[in-house]
Structure 1
Amino acid sequence: MNADQSCQLWVSDITYIRIKNDFQFLSLITDVYSRKIVGYHLHASLATEGPLQALHMALGSLDCLPDGLIHHSDRGTQYCCNQYVQVLQSYKISISMTEKGDPYENAVAERINGILKSIFDLQRTFADQREAAEAIQKAVAFYNTVRPHTSVEDLTPEKAHALTGTLKRLWKPKTYKRKQNNEQETKNLNGNSASV
């Protein structure tokens, strides 16, 4: 689906956060059009409560409920359970899930996880839940309001969220790079064989 404004498609996922010798779980909801993180919550377990809190934060960010909003997730039990589904249905939000739990079917959500962990250092081990929660809050705020994103014309997600219409992606897909590399290798091979 190619979204042309915010609040058409949200994607959700859960990623682990290491705290001492244990893990807690960060639930995220991201708007696909703007790449803005609209809801998040750090929870001590994989129970539905974490994703539900993130969903309530996302819903609370809306001025009014847009028509035709779709919520996409993997097939985790947290997203399939009655409690979560009932909240989505009560807001008339359509439900979409990956077919096989393949991460490529939820690529935007997986990419956000990677950005937060690699660029904002959320992959490190935190001393306690408070330290982790503070780091997450700062990372999400910086990600949403300061960091330009190549998927939304080098705008911040916050700025992109206020727009409508197609936003240009300023990155080249890996297949494009792979094709260029293959063409260059072919030229090199042909050039080398011709000179032998």
Structure 2
Amino acid sequence: MSASYITQTVVASMPAGSMLTHCESIEYRGGMTESGDPKDNAQAERINNTMKNELLKGKAFRRIEEAIAVVTLSVDFYNNRRPRMTIGMMTPAEAAESTGDRDMRWTSYRRLAIKSRDTPGGCESPGGLGIEK
């Protein structure tokens, strides 16, 4: 996540149509998921939620440079100093550099669907993916 190109404040709670109109007016070229469903990009949504509700909540900035500095520090904290239960109490940076299997504490429904598709008969027991029956 890079904050080096922020040029204007955008309110994230705008309805999608208003947001699109606003982005076009400032010539912002971003992207949305095909369906507009936040579950299509759950990892990014989780990061955005943490940034908004834990790291930046209640902060007000008078200058864009101040916002960039705080967001940069927040991204560093999120990636390098905030361990996650979901990745075995590692930071994202540690998890990215680790090799082998990790103690993942979430269910990857994408992985489950792929395994189900690749399993003869098309059915995979979810037990091997951390899903309790």
* TM-score normalised per structure 1: 0.40
- Judge conservation of contact 2:83–2:92 (CA < 8 Å) in 1: yes
Counterpart Cα distance in 1 of 2:58 and 2:100: 35
**C-alpha displacement of 1:114:** 0.6
Q: Deviations over 1:151-177 (max 9, x none)?
A: 2111011111111233223368xxxxx
Of Structure 1 and Structure 2, the greater strand share is in 1
Residues 150, 171 of structure 1: 8 Å contact kept: no
Runs of 4+ aligned structure 1 residues displaced above 3 Å come to none
Kindly provide the amino acid, as one letter, of the partner of residue 72 in structure 2.
Answer: Q
Task: Tell me the distance in 2 between the aligned counterparts of 1:123 and 1:116.
Answer: 11
AA aligned opposite 1:149: R
Higher helix share: 2
Do structure 1's residue 114 and structure 2's residue 49 form an aligned pair? yes
Q: 8 Å contact 2:51–2:74 — kept in the other structure?
A: yes
C-alpha distance in structure 1 between counterparts of 2:6 and 2:90, whole Å: 30
Say what the alpha-carbon RMSD is for the aligned residues: 2.5
Which residue does 1:142 correspond to in 2? 77
Structure 1: any 5+ residue segments left out of the alignment? Answer: 1-27, 29-39, 49-77, 80-96, 173-196
C-alpha contact (below 8 Å) 1:154/1:170 kept by paired residues: no
Q: How many pairs were matched up?
A: 89
Q: 1:157 matched to which residue of 2?
A: 92
Write the deviation string for residues 118-139 of structure 1: whole angstroms up to 9, x where unpaired: 1112553212111111100110
* Whole-Å separation in 2 of the counterparts to 1:125 and 1:169: 36
Report the identity percentage: 33
CA distance in 1, matches of 2:33, 2:66: 33
TM-score between the two structures when normalised by the length of structure 2: 0.56
Q: Which has the higher contact order (CA 8 A, sep 6+)?
A: 1
Q: Deviations over 1:6-43 (max 9, x none)?
A: xxxxxxxxxxxxxxxxxxxxxx3xxxxxxxxxxx1242
